[in-house]
């Protein structure tokens, strides 16, 4: 059974200097299960979760490399290719409480603010294990 979650912050870190600081995100957890019913269950079926796939969207400010300075929209390609583009998504639930996981970017929209900086919205799907940090 899928579950919806959301949070106030986080980030995407890409391998070629394309980074994004999230101002907010929402995601759906999609568990994969396997039936593990045995004779001891006496007619009741049991299931174990084998994997969780996270799909979601996030809004935020696009950054260049490890800089915390927003990228000017003029510094971005007019049509960045995001097909099969991967990196690390970090979802922040509260200060010090995060999930981080490898992901593939499935969509990207770039907006130019009135001050010339670049905001964006991206869609992602997890492609590996979730590392949880809870303070």
Using CA atoms, how far apart are residues 36 and 112, in angstroms rounded to an integer? 52
Three-class SS state of 86: strand
* Residue boundaries of the structural domains of the chain: 3-33+47-133
**pLDDT digit string, tens, across residues 35-50:** 887 777 677 877 787 7
pLDDT of 79 over the 50 cut: no
The answer to whether the beta carbons of residues 47 and 1 sit under 8 Å apart is no
Q: How many residues does the chain have?
A: 135
| pTM, to two decimals | 0.76
Q: Render pLDDT for 98-123 as a digit per residue (tens, 0 to 9).
A: 999 999 888 888 887 767 678 889 99
Under a CB-based contact definition with an 8 Å cutoff, are residues 104 and 83 in contact?
Answer: no
């Amino acid at each position: 059974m899928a579950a919806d979650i959301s949070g106030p912050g986080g980030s995407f870190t890409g391998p070629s200097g394309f980074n994004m600081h999230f101002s907010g995100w929402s995601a759906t957890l999609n568990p994969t299960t396997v039936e593990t019913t045995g004779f001891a269950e006496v007619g009741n079926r049991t299931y174990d979760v084998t994997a969780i796939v996270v799909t979601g969207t996030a809004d935020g400010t696009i950054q260049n490399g490890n800089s915390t300075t927003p990228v000017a929209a003029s510094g971005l390609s007019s049509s960045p290719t995001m097909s099969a583009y991967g990196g690390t998504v970090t979802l922040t639930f509260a200060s010090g409480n995060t999930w981080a996981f490898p992901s593939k970017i499935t969509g990207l929209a770039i907006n130019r603010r009135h001050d010339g900086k670049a905001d964006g919205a991206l869609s992602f799907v997890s492609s590996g294990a979730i590392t949880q940090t809870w303070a």
